[in-house]
Amino acid sequence: MANTLLRQSALRTALRTATPSAVKRAAIASTTFTRSKVTLPDLAYDYGALEPAISGQIMELHHSKHHQTYVTSYNTQIEKLQEAQAKGDIQAQIAIQPLINFHGGGHTNHTLFWENLAPKSQGGGDPPTGALAKSIDSHFGSLDSLKEKVNTALAGIQGSGWTWLVQDTQTGALQIRSYVNQDPVVGQFRPILGIDAWEHAYYLQYQNRKAEYFGAIWDVINWKAAEKRFQ
Contact positions vs Mn ion (CB under 5 A): 196, 198, 201
Instruction: Print burial letters for 185-199: b (CB count within 10 Å at least 16), e (below 16).
Output: beeebbbbbbbbbbe
Cβ proximity to Mn ion, 22 vs 180, nearer residue: 180
Q: What is the helix (H) or strand (E) element at residue 147, kind and residue range? A: helix 143-155
Cβ 104 to Mn ion, closest distance in Å? 14
Residue in 164, 161, 136, 129 with CA at minimum distance from that of residue 150: 164
192 within 8 A of 165, measured Cβ to Cβ: yes
Cβ 48 to Mn ion, closest distance in Å? 18
Cβ proximity to Mn ion, 33 vs 203, nearer residue: 203
Cβ 12 to Mn ion, closest distance in Å? 53
Cβ proximity to Mn ion, 56 vs 227, nearer residue: 56
Residue in 21, 24, 42 with CA at minimum distance from that of residue 32: 24
* Nearest residue to Mn ion on Cβ basis: 196
Looking from the CA of 188 toward its CB, the CA atoms found within 13 Å total 7
Cβ proximity to Mn ion, 69 vs 122, nearer residue: 69
Cβ 66 to Mn ion, closest distance in Å? 5
Q: What span, in angstroms and rounded, lies between the C-alpha atoms of 66 and 204?
A: 14
Cβ proximity to Mn ion, 115 vs 196, nearer residue: 196
Q: What span, in angstroms and rounded, lies between the C-alpha atoms of 68 and 1?
A: 49
Cβ 187 to Mn ion, closest distance in Å? 22
**Would you mind telling me the total number of residues written for the chain in this entry?**
231
